[in-house]
Structure 1
Amino acid sequence: MPQPAESRHWWKEAVAYQIYPRSFADSNGDGIGDIPGIIEKLDHVAGLGIDVIWLSPHFDSPNADNGYDIRDYRKVMAEFGTMADFDRLLAEIKKRGMRLIIDLVVNHTSDEHEWFVESRSSRDSDKRDYYIWRDGAKGVPNNFVSYFGGSAWEKDAATGDYYLHYFAKKQPDLNWDNEKVRTQVYDLMRFWLDKGVSGFRMDVIPFISKNFDFPDLTEEEMKDPGRVYASGPRLHEYLQEMNREVLSKYDCMTVGEAAGVSDAQTPLFVDEARNELNMIFNFAVVMLDRDGWRHKERKLTDLKATFDRLDKAVGMTGWNTVFLGNHDQPRTVSHFGDAAPEFRALSAKALATMMLTMRGTPFIYQGEEIGMVNYPFTDLDQFDDIEVRGLRQDYVDTGKASAEELLENLNKVSRDHARTPMQWDASKNAGFTTAEKPWLAVNPNYHEINAEAARADDGSVYHHYRRLIALRHETPALVYGTYEDLAPDHDAVFAFERRLDDERLITAINFSRVPVMWKHDGLEGANVLISNDDRRGETLSSEELTLLPWEALVLKVPA
């Protein structure tokens, strides 16, 4: 059996928690979450035992894509507060023994960023080459598509030329082949690191390098253009330069959002000898049940095989992230668990058990720790997401799909499920805001599912997360141990072993609504360290284990 990589780092041992500021907590009653609101709720996060907070974009933005269209990288969004508020947030996070990483969104800017305002003003602008322009007289440069619908090329009235935007037309892509652009990016990274943040989550970072021949996408590539967008010829040159110029000079954590990156390409980003990134978010797990915007069925065996593949892909000299939810995914319980009232909490605990005992740095998304579920949308007009507007335009308005079909699928896959406000208590608007109406509707189940009730109940999802995080912190095998799937072909049980030297731990989870028997050599005499039922502290008397519906156990196996 291969031995774990020897290099040990704080970011491997950390458990991270993502905050989407617009939806976390509103302190001033305008219906929009803000930085002072986050500060007020930090004890809730610290109480879990969290090491790192990832703050989604807090920068000045016109909000075409909820902050992922940045107008000023050195300014805080007015709706969220001021730079003084940010500095106070950073100080309060550190006071509680946690660290902060922030979003680095540098594939594109807002079209209102001063660079683009100058770039579009004239073909002779000294910032023209900060972005990617093509001669308008020659027509649309190629058939690249935007993730938010329509062409990825927009004709600009000022000069009649086309600029490239992989996302919204208000999000023009930067030209990373221009050394001045890279210098500006590295300067803004130093600005935030010198302020005291501990690293970056890097938005769509594999897209920064472009093939300037711009060949058309094939029919097959059109279904998943990210594979092409993530394969620019100078990508790894740029990441190594970024590491050399900035990251290597700080004890920081880097995690790249890796849409379009295959298993085979993963080590190129995270192998420690390459000096690029610490880890990436690979979307193979969360996209298993997706065919574009359409939902498809997923088997447990497929889920297990994908986790196994990802672990093998990074090997012993790379590192993974482990996540089931974020601001771009539906709610974890609705997506991977069972949102029925009798199974919601059990399945939320089971998924937490899986995630927090895997190999890789776990990322918890706000609300996951109390078992929040998808919002019951009944009309397309209820969605806020720019992606939904693009889908409506491309499919419903053209007759390719009905509004009913789009709504049925969005109720399973939409990003807006994760963006509904955090449910703090049973008061109006779940305690998120004192405004009459929050920016996005609160899930009506907040009377039953809220943080105040969860913290008061020792058997809640929140306290299960807290116990799991504590176990992970005190058990090196759960961080640095090898990973082995023990039941790859079982259609209901997910069981895996983590091993470091003589220490062996087994996680066993029943992903079904009925009791299941699982047998494995060595279970007899194993001690139950964590259970989402009532078995904690029990010693197993047999190699046969009957798992109740959605039961999850972490076992310590005798040496």
Structure 2
Amino acid sequence: MEEWWKKATVYQIYPRSFMDSDGDGIGDLRGIIQKLDYLKELGVDILWLSPVYDSPNDDNGYDIRNYHEIMSEFGTMADFDELLEEVHNREMKLIMDLVVNHTSDEHEWFQTKPDFYIWRDEPNNWRSIFSGSAWQYDEKRARYYLHLFTKKQPDLNWENPEVREAVYGMMRWWLDKGIDGFRMDVINLISKDPLFPDDDKGNGSMHYMNGPKVHEHLKEMNEKVLSHYDIVTVGETPGASTKDAVIYTDPANKELNMIFTFEHMELDQAGEKWDLKPLRLIDLKENKEKWQHALHTVGWNSLYWNNHDQPRVVSRFGNDKEFREESAKMLATCLHFMQGTPYIYQGEELGMTNVRFDSIDEYRDVETHNMYKERIELGFSHEDIMQSIYAKGRDNARTPMQWSAEPNGGFTTGTPWLSVNPNYPEINAEQRHDVNSVYTYYRALIAFRKTLDIVTTGDFTLLYREDEDIFAYERKRGDDTLTVYCNFSANSRTLPRPSGEFLIGNYEPPAGEEELELRPYEAVAFYDEVK
């Protein structure tokens, strides 16, 4: 089958925060339908829909009660069918979030099929990713069940062949509807060490991340389901190394098309996610180089700065104050000219920023509240905890999409489920009419990926490796060269000008013929094509 996804750009929609069509403060499927022309104009090829299934919403839809129904707040299955048809009418594709490491504890399976889940008479010392023990006592069954996430998200027992067949049947049901693939939530956690040993060196993750049978399960899934459809798959795989990634994505292994790595998302933390440290650009460059080389000839990279679990990159690795637009464009340039399939998270194309709510009560994310409670009990100060939330909290990504300068950013006529970032009058989608906007710049980058084969297939060479401010690299394909310079600082720098014609940049084209002065957060790309 044609690897159409290699030249594609993916746009992630977080439905709850994208567009509210009925004024209840919650985004919905009809709201997405209203904005499809905006997405088509941007130039994206694939829409990734975060979960829209029926859910009690303990973890914003990642706790699924019924895989075959739509969450009532989002609409109906008829709305979904119309959305899918309208996406295809615009020659775009739609992929769904596949959440099959766990379900909701309100799922019929948990009520009637205990063998579909993981039980023990006594808990081990594994910890939940969302704080506390990973085990919850069930009064009715007088046993403990495993939940790597919230206690309302019991883990499925993938050792049980009935579980796997039930999951595969559900996947076929959606694929037969005509969806174009899956983003697979924490898919490398589905296989646990069957002995469930204590983990005295950590939280238990060494016994379930990239577990003993994960490749066996994915090969079976591919054989029984995925290989029968012309689709794209991307696996979310926390803790996966480049060595793991090659196994997951090598076409010969018949598992997945690509995975999400987390390594570059952990470079600005000291240990746990909430323990902050400044990013060293040298670390980021070396990490990106490692992944570009490891998957260059075997497998395929996914490229992302943002998603529903990550803070806004312009606030994280850029400057969201005086150089917000420049750094938003620079970060996009740095990412989109690498080899792989880029993922844009809603609002990234506008340069949306992190938010700073005054009170913990204004936050909605269960992970944030669990961490706040745990750290207060451990003696951390409120002020220190809030600094971590401002930097790393998931609600940074989940504030509603900023469509206009109208009240609530044009997201809703009601009261939004999560407050809109107060900067919406300045940062919103009306910028799409401005030729110099972040949105227009993203349009240009997306278009280059479709026309320049060097982006898809070229070699990657890191330049200025030890430079603490400049991220520069070269892509080569035959005699053709694409050179990208990105200044990650507010300092101006002078470097030798690379060969080739100026392709794109976030300032006016540079003037010098031999030297290149990189202004604060400047990005430039040059293309030397040998005719």
Which residue of structure 1 lines up, in the alignment, with residue 118 of structure 2?
A: 132
Which residue of structure 2 lines up, in the alignment, with residue 362 of structure 1?
A: 342
Sequence identity percentage: 51
Tell me, what secondary structure is at the counterpart of 1:295? coil
Amino acid of the structure 2 residue aligned with 1:467:
A
2:506 pairs with 1:532:
yes
2:128 pairs with 1:146:
yes
Deviation (angstroms), 1:331: 0.8
2:285 pairs with 1:304:
yes
Deviation (angstroms), 1:374: 0.5
Q: Is the 8 A contact 2:296 2:459 kept in 1?
A: no
* Post-superposition CA distance 1:168-203 (Å, at most 9, x none): 000000000100000011111111111111100000
Deviation (angstroms), 1:392: 2.1
Which residue of structure 1 lines up, in the alignment, with residue 169 of structure 2?
A: 187
d(CA) in 2 for partners of 1:263 and 1:531?
31
Q: Is the 8 A contact 1:229 1:260 kept in 2?
A: no
d(CA) in 2 for partners of 1:161 and 1:249?
40
* Post-superposition CA distance 1:44-86 (Å, at most 9, x none): 1111110000000000000000000000001110000000100
Amino acid of the structure 2 residue aligned with 1:371:
G
d(CA) in 2 for partners of 1:381 and 1:255?
34
Tell me, what secondary structure is at the counterpart of 1:345? helix
Q: Is the 8 A contact 2:364 2:395 kept in 1?
A: yes
Q: Which runs of 5+ in 1 are unaligned?
A: 1-6, 119-126
2:132 pairs with 1:102:
no
d(CA) in 1 for partners of 2:345 and 2:426?
19
2:108 pairs with 1:114:
yes
Tell me, what secondary structure is at the counterpart of 1:304? helix
d(CA) in 2 for partners of 1:31 and 1:431?
11
Which residue of structure 2 lines up, in the alignment, with residue 124 of structure 1?
A: none
d(CA) in 2 for partners of 1:408 and 1:234?
40
Deviation (angstroms), 1:540: 6.0
2:230 pairs with 1:251:
yes
Q: Is the 8 A contact 2:246 2:294 kept in 1?
A: yes
2:359 pairs with 1:385:
no
* Post-superposition CA distance 1:424-462 (Å, at most 9, x none): 000110000000x2000000100000001x112110000
Which residue of structure 1 lines up, in the alignment, with residue 495 of structure 2?
A: 518
State which of 163, 172, 176 in structure 1 corresponds to 2:154: 172
d(CA) in 1 for partners of 2:129 and 2:364?
16
State which of 415, 420, 429 in structure 2 corresponds to 1:451: 429
Deviation (angstroms), 1:502: 2.3
d(CA) in 1 for partners of 2:481 and 2:89?
35
- 1:243–1:534 distance in 2 versus 1, CA, 3 Å: same
d(CA) in 1 for partners of 2:342 and 2:411?
26
Deviation (angstroms), 1:263: 2.4
Deviation (angstroms), 1:356: 1.1
Q: Is the 8 A contact 1:27 1:37 kept in 2?
A: yes
Q: Is the 8 A contact 1:532 1:553 kept in 2?
A: yes
d(CA) in 2 for partners of 1:248 and 1:540?
53
* Post-superposition CA distance 1:206-229 (Å, at most 9, x none): 00011111111123x23xx44432
Aligned counterparts, 1:250-399, within 5 A: 250-290=229-269, 291-292=271-272, 293-340=274-321, 342-396=322-376, 398-399=377-378
Tell me, what secondary structure is at the counterpart of 2:20? coil
Which residue of structure 1 lines up, in the alignment, with residue 183 of structure 2?
A: 201
Amino acid of the structure 1 residue aligned with 2:141:
T
Which residue of structure 2 lines up, in the alignment, with residue 541 of structure 1?
A: 513
Q: Is the 8 A contact 1:256 1:280 kept in 2?
A: yes
d(CA) in 2 for partners of 1:323 and 1:474?
21
Tell me, what secondary structure is at the counterpart of 1:530? strand
* Post-superposition CA distance 1:155-177 (Å, at most 9, x none): 00102100000000000000001
2:44 pairs with 1:50:
yes
d(CA) in 2 for partners of 1:325 and 1:227?
26
2:43 pairs with 1:12:
no
d(CA) in 1 for partners of 2:234 and 2:315?
26
Which residue of structure 1 lines up, in the alignment, with residue 523 of structure 2?
A: 552
Tell me, what secondary structure is at the counterpart of 1:286? helix
Which residue of structure 2 lines up, in the alignment, with residue 461 of structure 1?
A: 438
Deviation (angstroms), 1:26: 0.2
d(CA) in 1 for partners of 2:294 and 2:382?
40
2:418 pairs with 1:440:
yes
Which residue of structure 2 lines up, in the alignment, with residue 123 of structure 1?
A: none
Mean Cα deviation higher: 198-207 or 379-388 = 379-388
d(CA) in 1 for partners of 2:386 and 2:380?
10
Deviation (angstroms), 1:558: 4.9
Which residue of structure 1 lines up, in the alignment, with residue 450 of structure 2?
A: 473
d(CA) in 2 for partners of 1:226 and 1:539?
53
Which residue of structure 2 lines up, in the alignment, with residue 504 of structure 1?
A: 481
Q: Is the 8 A contact 2:234 2:260 kept in 1?
A: yes
d(CA) in 2 for partners of 1:33 and 1:65?
16
Deviation (angstroms), 1:494: 0.9
Q: Is the 8 A contact 1:227 1:261 kept in 2?
A: no
Which residue of structure 2 lines up, in the alignment, with residue 235 of structure 1?
A: 214
Amino acid of the structure 2 residue aligned with 1:129:
D
Which residue of structure 2 lines up, in the alignment, with residue 419 of structure 1?
A: 398
d(CA) in 2 for partners of 1:26 and 1:517?
47
Amino acid of the structure 2 residue aligned with 1:244:
E
Q: Is the 8 A contact 1:528 1:539 kept in 2?
A: no
Q: Is the 8 A contact 2:312 2:353 kept in 1?
A: yes
Q: Is the 8 A contact 1:528 1:540 kept in 2?
A: no
Mean Cα deviation higher: 303-312 or 74-83 = 303-312
d(CA) in 2 for partners of 1:329 and 1:530?
27
d(CA) in 2 for partners of 1:463 and 1:485?
27
Deviation (angstroms), 1:376: 1.4
Which residue of structure 2 lines up, in the alignment, with residue 3 of structure 1?
A: none
Q: Is the 8 A contact 2:30 2:75 kept in 1?
A: yes
Which residue of structure 1 lines up, in the alignment, with residue 193 of structure 2?
A: 211
Deviation (angstroms), 1:557: 2.1
Deviation (angstroms), 1:237: 0.2
* Post-superposition CA distance 1:308-359 (Å, at most 9, x none): 111223241110100000000001110111101x200000000111111111
2:164 pairs with 1:160:
no
Q: Is the 8 A contact 1:149 1:393 kept in 2?
A: no
Q: Is the 8 A contact 1:380 1:403 kept in 2?
A: no
Tell me, what secondary structure is at the counterpart of 1:168? coil
d(CA) in 2 for partners of 1:381 and 1:337?
28
Tell me, what secondary structure is at the counterpart of 2:266? coil
Q: TM-score, normalised by structure 1?
A: 0.92
Q: TM-score, normalised by structure 2?
A: 0.97
d(CA) in 2 for partners of 1:490 and 1:117?
57
Q: Is the 8 A contact 2:490 2:520 kept in 1?
A: yes
Q: Is the 8 A contact 1:102 1:201 kept in 2?
A: yes
Tell me, what secondary structure is at the counterpart of 2:265? coil
Q: Is the 8 A contact 1:270 1:318 kept in 2?
A: yes
Amino acid of the structure 1 residue aligned with 2:288:
F
Q: Is the 8 A contact 2:193 2:207 kept in 1?
A: no
d(CA) in 2 for partners of 1:228 and 1:339?
39
RMSD: 1.3
Tell me, what secondary structure is at the counterpart of 1:294? coil
Q: Is the 8 A contact 1:484 1:496 kept in 2?
A: yes
